[in-house]
Chain A
């Protein structure tokens, strides 16, 4: 856009690489770039169209992350190393949820922006999505698969909340193009910092098998009120009861009452007992990947 965020960041004295997807705004930003002594680099591109799923040539503003990192001069660092890069941005309201899912898959696969390490995201999201990301077990409507997966994957900090009323609009009706919500509050825009967990891949969870984890969590939380044992049984796992006892999860626990950490432990036990590879589960996961990445 006009570069308000960019200017704020520049004023803070940091080096900024700005991605602009609208060529109309480019000239202004480029003149700003020229007026500064290398503190700002402007690139024609769209952060939310990084590494598009469709095959074929990538046309700007869509772009590939490795090319981007090359131009930026950012090198990959090991996962456990410090944050190599901070990203600031505002999630488009209409694609908010899709974007959050895509980022999540990238995170668990260490692909796209996460290829170069634990990239820190500082993003503006709507309050309702923030509520989802930070929901506690048992919270009806808010506690979802997205919650579990983000909480396992990242440390989530709220940096700032700004009421929607602070924003101007160019819509005819004078309102903001904010999706309506029925169940969750949505009165603010939230600046949230998502820092990937350093120990994300220290256990049995690996970028190679993380798809199984994501799949498992999604299946469990489709119907949050269902019992975990029913879910396990419906997958033809034959030792569901024993498993829950070992994990000290009550037999009648509903899937929405499990902590994110519980899901991680559940996954690790299942992974180690090689249940996944022995059953159909594995094929299903592969199938599900088709809809995600590939």
Chain B
């Protein structure tokens, strides 16, 4: 298939559109009608004629090849003479030679129809299209001499492209018109990668300009977006730096090249206008407006806001302003919209307003929009004003909360917090003192050399800038003071583990550190922080004990205050996130500086050696089967000094520390949690953009319940259980204790055999031992550091009250934001957390504490609550002994499932039982209630499976049911039958089927474990059973997994159907090229972020880095979409259940937090929480969840507007409509089930 594009270039697209004769493009096949054939011939002739004139001999235009001219309206913008090959690679890191001033000032707009491929990418299947295109042939004629050039479009498929360059000065334009019959075109998406070979014969003079040219296909258009984003964030950097000249220079670089111009959208021009507006240069803004007109872009509201701001700043004449306002109205905007939609920064708003008031002296700001109320069917009364109750107060005065807010603010303004580690209690050795001195000297040297290297690289970049090229990284090295960059790099050096770290991780860390500080600066500069501060100070009146109670939710109250202050939407910062690529590139640049600059004298530890500087960091590759990872490792000399120095200061990002004041309530997907630190409402894997987009598209009112639930979880105040923390630290600083999960220090690591010093003579087993020791040491190091961080942070806040702001993953499961120390952590961290708020135990509280203790031990799992309580009373002596003499007594607590929480609970029980009136004893202790196999509970409820429901405790029973035992029993029955029938493996397995063997598989069945994974689990379990004959492992595990699946099928018949239905639906959706999306019953939109990863190679000096890219038009990963849908769907239900429970607990004044399916509250309120939890479970599953899902998906994927002819769609429709039938279980029974959550 040959492709021939002929295009006359004209100064601007406007002229192109103006009349002319449409060309004809012919789709040809042997089946083409005679008429078509004739038309095709006509095209051939014309092309040949042109060629002759052009003197361009294009080889591909041979008789055998069918010339096709494909043009459409999109391509109207003439493409530049610059190569357009890899927009990303070029723009992100243009080498000095790569980029020449666009269009080289020749004023030519040579055209080439290349963007047709962009269209094609949407059409993986063959398709016919008709495009009409006007093209003036005559225009090109004068240009034909010598200027014409055939641009080779290298393709295995023989595509040729004739490219015509034309002179600007065209005189008589005769236009030719022809019909374009469009063509079927093979999807070329794959071939775009192949480098092109010049096939067409180049015309004279063209040789120089001949460069390999790629078709911007699917890949490029993905990168196109990234590039667009990159340009925008670069422009924003210049706005921030107050360098409008630079911003305009960059804009012009793109604007003046017709190819690159397509990368500019209106926001790019807006940013430049804003930077001029800030300086009051109205002429420049006018020029930009005319530039907009020349490229046919319509000014946006922001453009007008910038113009008006500038006029306000200059106090322009009413006539000018009037004209501007008129034009604004002509473009369909309204003056009020300026104040309702624009995200003003600094004094922009005041200036715009003053400009408006010059022409309309009485102009009043529009009133804030009325708050909307969510009408989720699951929360019928929650938002009704009549049933509003006042928000619970904290035990703080306004004054106290204000002070805490100041502390938090200062901490966040510093970006990092340096705290004493818990190891600082250890005495200092002379060796450590010496090493610290050495380290301090080295650090000051490194500081200087890094600073020098940074400045040098900045200088060389700015030199480059003045030459021809342009370095995209340039503005990013000016955003912060040099000292801050140096500080960031030194911090990375200090935290590097002796085992090293991969380049990608370090680069990302460096890049995001710079980004975070930039955001902080922007918030300061734009006066956003000021506004937040103002609102927050009023906001805490809702929470403080000494102010009037108010019947608002935190979010509502915040919104009300914002509206009253008249801030409009400007509390949100303009979205300015950097593309992931850019972050990585910046990080790599800094990493390279670091590696090059930081050196240490080789003889620092051994003075006998020659004094010579060697790099502290080295770069090395680690090989993993077929790929390799670049690592940065510290030189052993450096590691030695660091370990000798035993420094006890730890530096954290301020977002790693719990908040010292109540979090800023979530009011939108962009705003909430920390005061300054940028936090996303939804966590995502690096670079994934889909969730954020989905959330933005979703009407904010639909998100209210989710936001309110997150606010509720974040508003829980915490404090430290000091006695327990002290015991833990004492063990930690001693030798640790692996059994109690306190990681021992590295000094306790096994030593490698001290064989001969020359290791090259080691034999295999010596090497093996050495490696095992190293591996163990590395593991110990990371465990130790993790514990050190957690304990040090806990110790830092030991006397404070603190808060964990929450966000969620893409399924709505909630998480505390601070990463190291939080209530989701292990036994040790959970044991040192207490509710800051205390509540009396009440009549049942002490009993609940005792039951909770027995639950923590893992004993008496099969017994009724009453029996557990009795057991606790029986062993009261042990409990008190543990509480009184934890380390010297009989240590009963140490032999439990969760020893540290058990110990903490023992101490609480001891205190409560010894108080004069236990019912009045004020307890801060959280009591947990766990869902029993929560995933299966949701499945059983969805399918109304009777047997299943009984086995996961949805049915009231006198003793807790154990689904694992039930499945084991079922499997045993199958086995017996098979054994009787003479199945050999069934006989071998006699006596080996137990709860333990099947547990993991049953548990993970909910989360979509496959037969393959299940078999591996079984094999592991059987291997642990010593008596089991090894030779039968494979066969037995194979058999067992089959029977477990059968057993589950038998017990949860509807469950399996639902799972299959979900899987099949997801498969069909993914196969149709779409991602699986749904909405939770609470209104949270969800999209599965699994795409076929596409990676881009970042070409950096030190190493090429392969980075996964994510854009909106990626192909879904069918396997993952399909396999992950059932578990993700169930998780979205369990998170909904949790949120509903949280919201209703709030209404009842309960303290409530959750660890997914484990709910925490005070001992006093366990009964109430249990009731709410059951009510909400019943309410949730009384919704037609599956029907709703089916309807939503039918609407989304099979709505009649779409092409319904496709086979896949019929299949999908059938699949989606066929909702599985459900069983007989009466859902209401859950209300009376004691062991549903227990």
Contact = CB atoms under 8 A, between A and B. Distances in A.
Interface stretch (B22-30, B512-520, B618-626): B618-626
B764 interface: yes
A254 to B, nearest CB: 15
Interface in B612-669: 612-615, 618-626, 628, 633, 635-636
Contact of B622 (A223, A236, A288): A288
Contacts of B614: 236-238
B760 interface: yes
A209 B760 contact: yes
25 contacts: A98-B625, A208-B761, A209-B760, A212-B760, A218-B621, A222-B621, A223-B1103, A234-B619, A235-B618, A236-B615, A238-B602, A276-B760, A279-B636, A280-B635, A280-B636, A282-B759, A283-B636, A286-B771, A287-B774, A289-B771, A290-B771, A291-B624, A294-B767, A294-B768, A294-B771
A246 to B, nearest CB: 17
B767 A222 contact: no
Contacts of A279: 635-636
Contacts of B782: none
A97 B625 CA distance: 10
Interface in A229-251: 233-238
A198 interface: no
For B610, B621, B625, B774, the residue with the greatest tally of chain A CB atoms inside 10 Å of its CB is B621
Contacts of B760: 206, 208-209, 212, 276-277, 282
B770 A286 contact: yes
Nearest to A293: B764
Given A218-B623, A277-B758, A294-B768, A234 B1104 contact: no
Interface string B337-367: 0000000000000000000000000000000
Interface of chain A, main secondary structure: helix
A282 B626 CA distance: 23
Nearest to B778: A287
Contact of A223 (B624, B625, B774, B1104): B1104
Contacts of B626: 97
B612 A238 contact: yes
Contacts of A235: 618, 620
Contact of B628 (A208, A222, A277, A280): A222
Interface in A192-240: 206, 208-209, 212, 218-219, 222-223, 233-238
Contacts, number: 68
CB-based closest 8 A-B pairs: A209-B760, A236-B614, A238-B612, A234-B619, A222-B621, A238-B614, A280-B636, A236-B618
B621 A219 contact: yes
B623 A280 contact: no
Nearest to B762: A208
A261 interface: no
Given A236-B615, A291-B623, 9 more contacts: A98-B625, A206-B760, A223-B1104, A277-B758, A279-B635, A279-B636, A282-B759, A286-B774, A288-B623
Interface of chain B, main secondary structure: mixed
A287 B1104 CA distance: 23
A289 B621 contact: no
B672 to A, nearest CB: 44
Nearest to B621: A222
A98 B105 CA distance: 54
A105 B832 CA distance: 52
Interface string B747-762: 0000000000011111
B615 A233 contact: yes
Interface in B1092-1107: 1103-1104
A284 interface: yes
Contacts of B1104: 223
B623 A234 contact: no
For A219, A236, A237, the residue with the greatest tally of chain B CB atoms inside 10 Å of its CB is A236
Interface residues of A, number: 30
B1102 to A, nearest CB: 8
A272 to B, nearest CB: 12
A80 to B, nearest CB: 21
Contact of B759 (A234, A277, A284): A277
A286 B758 contact: no
Contacts of A97: 626
Contacts of A208: 760-762
A126 B614 CA distance: 44
Given A218-B621, A284-B620, A289 B636 contact: no
Contact of A287 (B612, B758, B771): B771
Nearest to B770: A286
A287 B498 CA distance: 14
Given A219-B621, A223-B1103, A294 B764 contact: yes
Contact of B633 (A212, A218, A280): A280
B771 to A, nearest CB: 5
Nearest to B775: A290
A279 to B, nearest CB: 8
B764 A236 contact: no
Nearest to A218: B623
A291 B771 CA distance: 11
Nearest to A222: B621
A165 to B, nearest CB: 20
Interface string A254-294: 00000000000000000000001101101110111111001
Nearest to B616: A236
Contacts of B623: 218, 288, 291
Contacts of A287: 622, 771, 774
Given A218-B623, A286-B771, A294-B768, A234 B618 contact: yes
Interface in A48-96: none
A208 B761 CA distance: 6
A237 B636 CA distance: 13
A101 to B, nearest CB: 10
Interface string B772-801: 001000000000000000000000000000
A66 B278 CA distance: 81
A161 to B, nearest CB: 26
A219 B620 contact: yes
Contacts of B767: 286, 289, 294
Contacts of A233: 615
Contacts of B759: 277, 282, 286
A234 B636 CA distance: 14
Contacts of A283: 636, 774
Nearest to B632: A234
A98 to B, nearest CB: 8
A184 B760 CA distance: 38
Contacts of A212: 760
A235 B616 CA distance: 10
